[in-house]
Amino acid sequence: MRKLLFLFCLACTLAGAPSALADTQELLVTPYATAAGAKADTDIDLFVPETAAPTAKVAVYVPSGFDVNLSGALNTKIGDATGEVLAKGLGGTKLSLTGAITVDDPARYTSDPASQACDANPHAAVWLLTLSASGQSLSIPIFVDRTTGADAALGGFLLEACFASPDVPSDQGGAPFGAQLISVSLQTTGVIVNAPSGRPVWKGFITPYTAGTGASDATGIVEVRCIEPLPHTITKLKSVYSKKTKMVTITGVLMAGGKARPNVHVRLDAAATPNTDALKPWAVATTNAAGAFSIVKRLPKKLYVFAHVNPYYTLNCTTGPSTAAKGCVHEDTSGVFGPFFVVKPTK
């Protein structure tokens, strides 16, 4: 159910985003457990405008304090995945792809020319991302390593992947069916352990190709970030029904990293049944300086209610300067899932 709720919230977020979002890259990280030190199923989502230069390489730094399981058995499935590509070789058709993430053998890539060109260093682990649609498929190794040296200032672990150029024929090393990355979602299970309490920042660096070629463009690298508060919770949730007014008052507090999170929209979606597909927007409240919110709504019948906060974003990164050639172009703050609860009139 958590996955369905996340997809519902993400759809609402993107549908209501300003047009500027369509012109910038984005990194969105969504944990399904936000307690400090918890093993958390975690979604790592990357978005790239189709109007941008094709993506050659993505490097995502997991914040210091997190742990990543590097010891999975060969071929073990560690998550599902979805993606979207612009298939230039198929007339510019957009393809939605689905697949899985499995544990692969790093030794397979020590003599592979494309992998060595991406990163010639030995790797602690390799996760194989396999995506397919309509008889077409893509296999992309994700190299996973602990950071060392100057990289350690960016995070404790590095997830790195390279993409073949969509502007080079596939028989010359280009992408199958001219696939240009638009989005990819890694829905990991059991491999990421949360950091201690705070506001850790995930950092992604996206290297483009020089348009129309198979050469990467180091002068075009952009940075994208996602703040993941830990813990991040909707707490002290309480509902009180008035027989006189037939209204229900719902109150609660939004906390992020041990501090109140003010001036944020807490959303309640509701349905007459516990079916999450039936949820529709019902009420919105804005948290005050203490992170508290209050919603008063007429309640003619029993409702199943889901409380959540959508991801927030800014195009002006707030968490320090960037080392990317083009700077930091997008910074998200993770959303949070509250409880799924019932409110009903009392007799």
Last residue of a domain, one of 169, 193, 227: 227
Last residue of a domain, one of 212, 227, 242: 227
Which CATH number do you get for residue 187?
Answer: 2.60.40
Domain that holds residue 54: 20-227
Is residue 3 a part of any domain in this protein? Answer: no
Same domain, 201 and 259: no
What pTM was computed for the model? 0.92
User: Rounded to an integer, what distance in angstroms lies between the CA atom of residue 41 and that of residue 78?
Assistant: 10
Residue 159 · residue 59 · CB < 8 Å: yes
Same domain, 121 and 236: no
Same domain, 41 and 147: yes
pLDDT score for 22:
53
pLDDT score for 160:
98
Same domain, 44 and 166: yes
User: Rounded to an integer, what distance in angstroms lies between the CA atom of residue 305 and that of residue 269?
Assistant: 6
Same domain, 159 and 273: no
Same domain, 213 and 248: no
Distances (CA, A) of 210 to 54, 73, 167, 215: 8, 38, 10, 6
Same domain, 210 and 275: no
Residue 270 · residue 306 · CB < 8 Å: yes
Is residue 4 a part of any domain in this protein? Answer: no
- Reduced to 3 states (helix: H, G, I; strand: E, B; else coil), residue 117 is helix
Looking at residue 216, what DSSP letter applies?
Answer: B
Sheet (strand 303-309) strand order:
280-286, 265-271, 303-309, 336-343
Same domain, 193 and 178: yes
Residue 258 · residue 281 · CB < 8 Å: no
Is residue 11 a part of any domain in this protein? Answer: no
User: Rounded to an integer, what distance in angstroms lies between the CA atom of residue 302 and that of residue 282?
Assistant: 13
Is residue 1 a part of any domain in this protein? Answer: no
Question: pLDDT digit of tens for each residue in the chain (347 aa)?
Answer: 445 454 444 444 443 333 334 579 999 999 999 999 999 999 999 999 999 999 999 999 999 999 999 999 999 999 999 999 999 988 999 999 999 999 999 999 999 999 999 999 999 999 999 999 888 889 999 999 999 999 999 999 999 999 999 999 998 999 999 999 999 999 999 999 999 999 999 999 999 999 899 999 999 999 999 999 999 999 999 999 999 999 999 999 999 999 999 999 999 999 999 998 999 999 999 999 999 999 999 999 999 999 999 999 999 899 999 999 999 999 999 999 998 999 999 87
Two tokens at 42?
């975690």
Same domain, 216 and 76: yes
Element (H or E) spanning 55, and its range?
strand 55-62
Count of domains forming the chain: 2
Same domain, 81 and 187: yes
How far from chain centre, in Å, is Cα 107?
29
Same domain, 67 and 130: yes
Same domain, 154 and 280: no
Which CATH number do you get for residue 295?
Answer: 2.60.40.10
Q: What are phi and psi of 65, to 5 degrees?
A: 105, -25
